[in-house]
Amino acid sequence: MTGGELGLSRRQLVNIIGRAAGASVAYQAMTSLGYAAESGYKGPIKLSPAKPGASVVVLGAGLAGMVAALELRAAGYKVQILEFNQRAGGRNWSLRGGDRYTELGGATQVVDFAKGNYFNHGPWRIPYHHYAVLDYCKRLGVTLEPFIQVNYNAYVHNSKAFGGQPQRFRHVQTDLQGHVAELLAKATNQGGLDQAVTKEDRERLLEGLKSWGTLDTDYRYVASKATSDKRGYEIDPAGGLMPLAKPSQPLGLNDILQAGMWAQVNTGNVYEFQSAIFQPVGGMDQIGKAFEREVKPMIRYGVKVTKIEQSASKVTVTYVDAVKGGAPRQVSADWCVCTIPLSILSQIEVQVSGPMRDAIAAVPYGASVKVGLEFKRRFWEEDELIYGGVTQTDLPIRNISYPSNGLFSKGPGVLLGGYMFDNVHAFRMTSMSPEERVRAALEMGAQIHPQYKTEFKSGVAVAWHRVPFTNGCYARWTDALREQHYKNLCAIDGRIVLAGEHASYIPAWMEGSILSSLDAVQRLHAKALSA
Interacting positions 50-109 with its own copies (CB under 8 A): none
If you compute the radius of gyration of the chain from its CA atoms, what whole number of angstroms results? 27
Span from 47-55, 92-100, 228-236, 362-370 in contact with its own copies (CB under 8 A):
228-236
Nearest alpha-carbon partner for 514 in 369, 386, 337, 356: 337
Q: Quick one: which of 9, 165, 311, 423 contacts its own copies (CB under 8 A)?
A: 9
Identify which of residues 320 and 492 has a Cβ nearer to its own copies in the complex.
Answer: 492
Identify which of residues 402 and 419 has a Cβ nearer to its own copies in the complex.
Answer: 402
Closest distance of CB 463 from its own copies, Å: 27
Cβ atoms of residues 93 and 286 within 8 Å = no
State the DSSP H helix or E strand holding residue 310, giving kind and residue range, or none if neither: strand 303-310
Beta bridge partners of 434: none
Distances (CA, A) of 64 to 61, 308, 337, 477: 7, 18, 9, 19
Closest distance of CB 197 from its own copies, Å: 7
Q: Does 245 bind its own copies (CB under 8 A)?
A: yes
Beta bridge partners of 369: 420, 463
Closest distance of CB 430 from its own copies, Å: 27
Q: Quick one: which of 144, 161, 362, 397 contacts its own copies (CB under 8 A)?
A: 144
Q: Does 514 bind its own copies (CB under 8 A)?
A: yes
Judged by CB under 8 A, the number of residues near its own copies is 133
Span from 44-52, 272-280, 361-369, 423-431 in contact with its own copies (CB under 8 A):
272-280
Q: Does 254 bind its own copies (CB under 8 A)?
A: yes
Kind of pairing, strands 78-82 and 299-300?
A: parallel
Closest distance of CB 217 from its own copies, Å: 16
Identify which of residues 220 and 307 has a Cβ nearer to its own copies in the complex.
Answer: 220
Cβ atoms of residues 417 and 373 within 8 Å = yes
* 127 φ/ψ angles, rounded to the nearest 5 degrees: -65, 155
Q: Quick one: which of 124, 301, 387, 421 contacts its own copies (CB under 8 A)?
A: 387
Query: How far apart are alpha carbons 77 and 68 in whole angstroms?
Result: 11
Nearest alpha-carbon partner for 116 in 139, 88, 97, 137: 97
Q: Does 275 bind its own copies (CB under 8 A)?
A: yes
Q: Does 253 bind its own copies (CB under 8 A)?
A: yes
Q: Does 516 bind its own copies (CB under 8 A)?
A: yes
Q: Does 197 bind its own copies (CB under 8 A)?
A: yes
Other C-beta atoms within 10 Å of 407: how many?
13
Q: Does 170 bind its own copies (CB under 8 A)?
A: yes
Q: Quick one: which of 22, 105, 146, 411 contacts its own copies (CB under 8 A)?
A: 146
Cβ atoms of residues 517 and 340 within 8 Å = no
The residues in 292-351 that bind its own copies, with binding defined as CB under 8 A, are none
Query: How far apart are alpha carbons 299 and 79 in whole angstroms?
Result: 9
Q: Does 404 bind its own copies (CB under 8 A)?
A: yes
Nearest alpha-carbon partner for 275 in 147, 399, 415, 406: 147
Query: How far apart are alpha carbons 364 and 485 in whole angstroms?
Result: 12
Eight-state DSSP code of residue 483: I
Q: Quick one: which of 86, 108, 269, 313 contacts its own copies (CB under 8 A)?
A: 269
Burial, 249: exposed, middle or buried (Cβ in 10 Å; 0-12, 13-18, 19+)?
Answer: middle
Identify which of residues 137 and 426 has a Cβ nearer to its own copies in the complex.
Answer: 137
Identify which of residues 95 and 340 has a Cβ nearer to its own copies in the complex.
Answer: 340
- Give the 3-state secondary structure of 125-168: CEECCCHHHHHHHHHHCCCEEECCCCCCCCEEECCCCHHHCCEE
Q: Does 401 bind its own copies (CB under 8 A)?
A: no
Site map (CB under 8 A) of its own copies, residues 174-193, x = contact: x-xx--xx-xx-xxx-xxxx
Query: How far apart are alpha carbons 363 and 357 in whole angstroms?
Result: 11
Span from 55-63, 79-87, 125-133, 350-358 in contact with its own copies (CB under 8 A):
125-133
Closest distance of CB 259 from its own copies, Å: 9
Site map (CB under 8 A) of its own copies, residues 473-512, x = contact: --------------x--xx-------x---xxxx----xx
Other C-beta atoms within 10 Å of 403: how many?
24
Identify which of residues 388 and 396 has a Cβ nearer to its own copies in the complex.
Answer: 388
Q: Does 513 bind its own copies (CB under 8 A)?
A: yes
Q: Quick one: which of 171, 230, 425, 525 contacts its own copies (CB under 8 A)?
A: 230
Identify which of residues 75 and 503 has a Cβ nearer to its own copies in the complex.
Answer: 503
Eight-state DSSP code of residue 247: P
Query: How far apart are alpha carbons 140 and 142 in whole angstroms?
Result: 6
Query: How far apart are alpha carbons 352 and 498 in whole angstroms?
Result: 11
Q: Quick one: which of 21, 23, 104, 138 contacts its own copies (CB under 8 A)?
A: 138
